[in-house]
Structure 1
Amino acid sequence: MEDMGGASVQVQVRRGLGQLAPGSPGQAPPLLAAEGGSGPTKPRQLMPSRPRAPGGSSLTSSPTGVRRPRRTPGHGIAVKSRGEGPRVSLHAGQHLLDEDTFTENFRSDNRPPRTYLCYEVERPDRGSGVPLDQDKGILRNKKPFLLFCAQSAQGPEVPCHAESRLLEQIQSWDLDPKLHYSVTCFLSWSPCTDCAQDMTQFLKESSHVSLSLFASRLYTRGHYDQGLRTLKRAGASMAIMTSREFEHCWTAFVHHKGNPFQPWPGLAMESRKFSEKLQHILRGA
């Protein structure tokens, strides 16, 4: 998805292909971070199709039915970047976002020119097909210039948006269709229209995977509202990040050096504003 907007989603999926919607950059090669702009337009990248509660955390049901993570400690395993990947620092053998990068991109009253996607996979057991080092990660959209270079060298099927990259990664896993997998994502921007459509297709072809999306803000360009409604009809569960989700991400995906998460002024108001708008959009689904 492109960079602008935020909404969370839970999607039921079988192996397939897909991508998110309104404003988050797509995905590139499995677990490779990159950067992209948040301009009014974005290159659309489609990818071939193929897919535990968050490690160290559990999910609770909110009044709206969206499963939100409880505040329990954890750690994130991010992805190495190629070229100009996301600003992630290697700490204790793992890639984590630094404090400034997290705040700059996830603070809901900011409008960063990129999308970050932090994900956690709840798998049935260790032998379920999800690589042990890929049950958590951080992805970011790929810069248009880097995307052009990759396309020139590898062909046109290079994912650009963070959501696309996540779907590509899931499709690379050897998942057992008889088991159920739950993927929870925390996005700095909600999916753009194209990402939502691709993700919808992915869900239609995959019934053994559920996906929950929590977005910091809504991406509101193009037919983003149609994309979100389509995604919901495909089985996705979407919600806006609240203080609980921000704190969970801080604990699991940020090298916080022991510093507690500090809510910024207006966080609750921004979350409420985006949440009301999202609920209004989804009523027509």
Structure 2
Amino acid sequence: MDPVLLQSPVTAQSAGLGIFLEMNFEPVLRESVERFLTGINSEGFDFAGFRSVLSRQLQSSADPPIEIVWLYAAAGYYESISARSSVGRVRVARDLLQLLSSCSAAVGGTKCIALTAPAVYDLYQCAVEDGLVDEKTLAEIERFSEAILSYLSICSGHCKDLEGINTGLHSSFLDLVRVWTLRRSADEGSLEMFFPLVGDEVRKRFVEKERCGIGYLAGVVIAEAFLLRLCLKVKAGGASRKGLQKELVVWAVSSITAFSNRIFFGNVCYPDPFLYCLCQLIDM
């Protein structure tokens, strides 16, 4: 089993987060995002110094905003991929999940799930990158996608009442999505790239509904991880068409049933016809 799954992401002790009074992160976040977007394309960007500043912000709160954690992780991520060959890309994605899960050790299950969005996105990119996916790498991607789903299932089991999680995302959320898609998207289509597998109606809510909640983001992350695993199963093939269809139905029903996230069923699956049809299989 993946090392990241050996302990509960909720009960684990976080080495990096102290218990301090809450502070207003908005000004720091806005300034840091602008600095990152400006400096990332220039030579000699000081990743270590940038992370050091954000590390102090993380340590100032027991429950820092998702956006601060994502920006801190992005600095380490971009530094890693600039120093590694394509062979190590899946490893970078694994390290990213490890970092994100360690930053969520002191918070509830819903936020744990939401925080993993960059890792799910990056694994998808590993799977579709030209010239990267040989047979060995694809097997590694499949194992990691299964590990992510298992991790999200553990987190989901610690979500007591997801419909009551109304904590809004910060106004800089879309800028953080842009940070993560910067390498592959020069235009404003960042949401479509960051959440490539869910439908347009699901993505639109991040733009149209003010301060979309963390609970909704968690539901979208589960859907993305689920659909990625499903796509990889289809791609792997090996069985007859009929046998593969049967295996996929059994696997899809058991996987969806494992998640207690009601937002995944109500707000994410319903607008997406494919996911909605799969969910109906549970009642058959």
Q: TM-score, normalised by structure 1?
A: 0.29
Q: With a CA cutoff of 8 Å and minimum separation of 6, indicate the structure with the bigger relative contact order.
A: 1
Higher helix share: 2
Whichever structure has more strand as a proportion of its residues is 1
Instruction: Choose 1 or 2 for highest CA Rg.
Output: 2
